[in-house]
Structure 1
Amino acid sequence: MTFGMSQFLGVFFEEAEEHLAALEHLLLTLDIAQPDPEALNGIFRAAHSIKGSSGMFGFDDLTSVTHVLETLLDKVRSGQIALQAEMIDVLLESRDVLLQLLAAHKHETPDPSIPVEATRARLQRLIDQQGGAAAAPGVAHDNDDSFGFFTDAPGAPAETAPVVAEQQAYGLFADEPAPVAAVAVTDSGYGFFDDAPGAPVTASLVNRAAQTPAPAAERRSTDRRGVGGSAAPAESESSSIRVSVERIDSLINQVGELVITQAMLAQLSLVLDPSEHERIFQALSQLEHNSRELQEAVMSIRMLPISFVFNRFPRLVRDTCGKLGKQVELVLRGEHTELDKGVIEKLTDPLTHIIRNSIDHGIELPAERIAAGKPATGTVRMSAFHQGGRIVVEISDDGKGLSRERILAKAREQGMAVTDEMPDSEVWLLIFMPGFSTAEAVTDLSGRGVGMDVVRRNITSIGGRIEIKSMAGQGTHIVIRLPLTLAILDGMIVEVDKVHYVVPLTYIVESLQLKDEHIYSMSGSSSAVIRVRDEYLPLLSLHCLLNQTAAPPPAVGGLVLILEAEGNSFALQVDELIGQQQVVIKSLEQNFRRIDGITGATIMGDGSVALILDVDALPRLAGQGAPSHA
């Protein structure tokens, strides 16, 4: 392949993946009894765009499958073939085959095991069963060809009906000068070179049965070219560009280094007299302001909606239910909640395992649910929302819940030290142990004891926390708490035994100096609490939690931070409050080892290393034996 063509391969693969994702979503939401014409058009256009574009690069296997696929879709949307439930299964399987072929071409690893011919045969059978006839193999264009590469090549049949535009064109060189007929480009127009110079335009209707103009609101969001082919002003063109993740990561790293440099300059300025070096302090203040704005702008580039993860689960639920003979409704909330791309990448596998387990082990068969007084269709709910400086993802089902007896019995079989008196919260955590599974038989869905182990490992690797609540006969509720970002945070620098630590600002409610009337001892316990505005809070000493060798200072007269973590408040005593600072997070586990109560490290302005506290873990550390301080 020539260099001039190969440079567009990356864009082709990205666009094709987007088309396949859109195709799957539309198929899963399609009403078989009364299919939405626009949804059918969208499905057709996705297949049509991939066919034209893949033919441009000589990917004949992709082209052959999508050609038969779009023939079937065209007959369905035109009413020549009635939509059936079997078709949805075959169309989804065809989509999976296209995704495999796309991956094989992308990574240049041909895979002869991909069932190309079998898929084409299944699609053709659906056409033949309804009395339809597929177009001759190898035909690259038909009357609706306006989306793929060179779709307007010389010799293509031309029509005069204008095409209603629905979305922006994303193809390369979409605005090349060309003699254009009276056309408004249809829908997505993702193909490359749609308007190649000198090519006569094929202007065919997306929906021939409904030749009504788009409403005014829709017309305002149409393609860049209006009726008559006149180019729209440059200001109306799409302002988005594709940028590789590597470049964004490099930019974030550079911003992180800038933040460290700014902190170093601020540290050096402490020896200067502000009255004599007023302009220097003004410049440093402006630098801090600009650095913060730059950091926020760069971090926003890396933020993605969690729908990137959520959108794959309707298909997972459908396929899993088909294998198990169960009926499940998936309810999604908060899909637009944004979090760091790095967090999203680590979240996909855990959520996949949790959803699959909820259906496999939690949701009962329809007959069992009806016998238990439940509706035949079970419900799995997924939601995401912000809470403080974290993202909370909740997954719940209305199934039979976890079996305490089976979990304890399995734990004993594996030699774990468990007792019947263990609280439920500790029993539920046993399912995260490596190799632990209560499945009676190994299947392709469960039974090997690796799923939930992967869940905990991936969640903890990004500083997250996972909790489980379950009630027999009512279902299971799983809560995952994740950091908003893995790069930069605002923190309060505190000192304990002449060592600096960072407390994320999002956890801090207030700070105060303890007086004697604030402190109360608990009878029968060495623990202490403080009373703040008629509320009693546990008092923890960072000295004790981190096992410092030096004796902690007395509580009376000491400084405490009132912190709120996972819905609970507590007081944390420290030696000194140094000040607020923006810090760059460095992974401690990758560069050293994991330490309980510590979520990462950062480089301070004087070049020293400060540890970032894992506030969520501090109450748990205190409960494991680190004494509080009275």
Structure 2
Amino acid sequence: MINSNVTVELQKLEKLLNKVGDLVITNSMMSQSIDNLPYSEEKKNLLEKINIFQRHIVELQEYATDIRMIKFESMYGIYNDIILELMPKNKSIKLEILGGNTKVDKSLIEQLDSSIKTLITNSVLYGIEETQERINKNKPIESTIKIIAQQLNGQISFSIENDGKGLNKEEITEDYILENQEDSQLKGIEKIKEIIERLNGNIEIQSELIDGFSFTMTLPLTHSILEGLNIKIGNNIFILPTSSIVESIQPTNEMIKLVGDGSTPLLMLRDEFIPIIKLHEHFHIESKNQILEDGILIIVKSGIQKAALFIDEFLQQQQIVVKAIETNFRKVDSVAGATVRGDGSIGIIIDVKSILEK
């Protein structure tokens, strides 16, 4: 029987994906040029053809991306074998993978392989308590190591968590990490940090003394095409990923509630209080509207967190190619990446997750 598999160099797939991205940008330029034409039957026909062309580009991008992607759940066996091999007889540990359907670039998994394995090893050897200690703490005898993969706003994150021993928040400092590299959950962290920074990513450590330890690696997607909504704040236009948007409203006075000293507004929507974030204040730019009732509130969500973003107005929705800013500049707070607009200008993509976490 003839083998149906073929071997393709990763570099060739890289070039293919780059060309797909160029097609998206070119399509955006053509679409904008057609929009600027006076209305006619010819313009209507051209817009219909552009929409068909865009659908073909989306399919092509999905096919090209799928070639070099794997479902993260396929790594379960490899990571579980590490646990079984290292687990002492006086410990009971199970592995859970959340977000297993998340598709991950094979080359990215290869670059993160040693980091994920180091964090699993640290959890097994130093993080998870022995069975008797867990009984004394009224914890389940069987402990859990979770690996969580999720993709959002042109970024992908991997979190390795365990329900074992944690650290005091005061201990999670750069000096403490440097001084405690041996026989602890922080073993090898500096090496992991170097790898993540080389990939233009960042790390986050969360820990409670009793509740366990969590290590998250967040990296920009090198090839990502997503739907974005153009929003206007003063004279500035930003892009908000539609995957983060729940709904948009123009609030009435009755919907706005002030708390504390009266300077902190909340949106009351269907018996739910949602914090309001004024993006012009967040980005330190001028806004056309200062009164909430005169502008638009876009409700966004990241994980379990939700907020209402105050803007002047929203414009058209479009498909965009996400480019990592860190590659040629540096990481910018609250920015997930950038894109080239149809008129050739640069569009800034808002990082909803980082804004909501502040």
Report the TM-score range of the alignment, normalised by the length of the smaller protein: 0.7 to 0.9
Provide the C-alpha distance between the structure 2 equivalents of 1:517 and 1:383, rounded to a whole number of angstroms.
Answer: 43
Q: CA separation of 1:258/1:393 partners in 2, compared to 1, >3 Å: closer, same or farther?
A: same
* Contact kept? 1:436, 1:450, Cα under 8 Å: no
Alignment of 1:32-47 (within 5 A): none
Q: Cα offset for 1:264? A: 0.1
Q: Shift of residue 521 of structure 1?
A: 1.2
Listed as ranges, the matches of 1:394-473 within 5 Å are 395-399=160-164, 401-404=165-168, 408=170, 411=171, 430=172, 433=174, 436=177, 439=180, 443=182, 450-451=188-189, 454-455=192-193, 458=196, 466=204, 468-472=206-210
Supply the distance in 2 between the matched residues of 1:541 and 1:372 (Cα, whole angstroms): 44
For residues 492 and 281 of structure 1, the distance between their equivalents in structure 2, rounded to whole angstroms, comes to 19
Query: Please, which moves more after superposition, 491-500 or 479-488?
Result: 479-488
Give the 3-state SS of the residue equivalent to 2:54 in structure 1. Answer: helix
Give the match for residue 260 of structure 2.
523
Deviation at 1:469, TM superposition (A): 4.6
- Please point out which of 33, 48, 58 is paired with 1:282: 48
Mark the CA change 1:438 to 1:373 in structure 2 (over 3 Å): closer, same or farther. Answer: farther
In the other structure, the counterpart of 1:348 is 113
What letter corresponds to residue 353 of structure 1 in structure 2? T
Q: Is the 8 A contact 2:233 2:287 kept in 1?
A: no
* 1:356-378 Cα distance to aligned partner (Å, 9 max, x none): 22123212346655666778x76
Residue 592 (structure 1) aligned with residue 329 (structure 2): yes
Return the offset for 1:314. 3.5
Q: Which residue of 2 aligns with 1:617?
A: 354
Aligned with residue 291 of structure 1, among 54, 57, 66: 57
Residue-by-residue CA offset, 1:554-608 (whole Å, 9 max, x unaligned)? 2112012110112111100112211111111111111112111001110000000
Tell me if 1:497 matches 2:261.
no
Local SS of the residue matching 2:14: helix
1:486 Cα deviation after fit = 4.1
Among all aligned residue pairs of Structure 1 and Structure 2, give the percentage whose two residues are the same amino acid: 26
Alignment map for 1:564-603 (pairs within 5 Å):
564-603=301-340
Q: Does 1:357 align with 2:122?
A: yes
- Describe the shift of the 1:335–1:601 C-alpha distance in structure 2 as closer, same or farther (beyond 3 A): closer
Instruction: Tell me how far apart the structure 1 counterparts of residues 157 and 330 of structure 2 sit (CA, whole Å).
Output: 26
Structure 1 residue 548 corresponds to structure 2 residue 285: yes
Task: For residue 283 of structure 1, report the CA deviation from its aligned partner.
Answer: 2.0
Cα deviation digits, residues 304-350 of structure 1 (max 9, x gap): 1214544432343355447xx86453424458523231553454344
In 2, are the aligned partners of 1:358 and 1:380 still within 8 Å (CA)?
A: no
- Structure 1 alignment gaps of length 5 or more: 1-223, 225-236, 412-429, 622-630
Paired residues in the alignment total 355
1:305 aligned partner:
71
Change (3 A) 1:252 1:387: closer
By percentage of residues, which structure has more strand? 2
Give the alignment partner of residue 316 of structure 1, picking from 58, 82, 91: 82
TM (normalized to structure 2)? 0.84
Residue type at the aligned position of 2:35: L
Q: Per chain length, whose mean CA-contact separation is higher, i.e. which structure has more relative contact order (CA < 8 Å, sep 6+)?
A: 2
Aligned alpha-carbon RMSD (Å): 3.5
1:296 counterpart SS class: helix
1:470 and 1:542 mapped to 2: Cα distance?
Answer: 32
Alpha-carbon contact 1:538-1:571 (below 8 Å) kept: yes
Could you tell me which of 26, 30, 42 is aligned with 1:261? Answer: 26
Q: Contact (CA 8 Å) 1:393, 1:480: kept in 2 or not?
A: yes
| Contact 1:434 1:450 (C-alpha < 8 Å) held by counterparts | no
Of structures 1 and 2, the larger Rg is shown by 1
- Quickly say closer, same or farther: Cα 1:550–1:568, change in 2 above 3 A: closer
Deviation at 1:506?
A: 0.7
Structure 1 residues 274 and 288 mapped into 2: Cα distance closer, same or farther (>3 Å)? farther
1:338 maps to 102
CA contact (8 A) 1:470 1:477 kept: no
* Residue pair 1:510, 1:562 contacting (<8 A) in 2 also: yes
8 A Cα contact 1:463 1:599, kept in partner = no
Structure 1 Cα separation of the partners of residues 4 and 188 of structure 2: 45
Q: Secondary structure at the match of 2:24?
A: helix
Question: 3-state DSSP class of the match of 2:34?
Answer: helix
Partners of 1:482 and 1:447 in 2: how far apart? 22
Contact 1:363 1:398 in 2 (8 A): yes
Query: Is residue 511 from structure 1 mapped to residue 248 from structure 2 by the alignment?
Result: yes
TM-superposition CA deviations, 1:410-440 (whole Å, max 9, x none): x5xxxxxxxxxxxxxxxxxx25x3661574x
Partner of 2:146: 382
Give the conservation status (yes or no) of the 8 Å contact 1:597–1:613.
yes
Counterpart for residue 45 of structure 1: none
Deviation, 1:458, is 2.1
Cα distance change, pair 345–452 in 1 and its aligned pair in 2 (3 A): same
> Is the Cα–Cα contact under 8 Å of residues 127 and 184 in structure 2 kept in the other structure?
no
The equivalent of 2:276 in structure 1 is 539
Distance 1:459 1:434, change over 3 A: farther
Give the alignment of 1:127-276 within 5 angstroms.
224=1, 237-276=2-41
Q: How far, CA to CA, are the matches of 1:485 and 1:586 in structure 2?
A: 7
Q: Which amino acid aligns with 1:468?
A: Q
Give the distance between the partners of 1:285 and 1:299, measured in 2 at CA: 21
SS at match of 2:326: helix
String of CA shifts for 1:425-474, please: whole Å, max 9, x gaps: xxxxx25x3661574xx64x6598651673597289566774635352x5
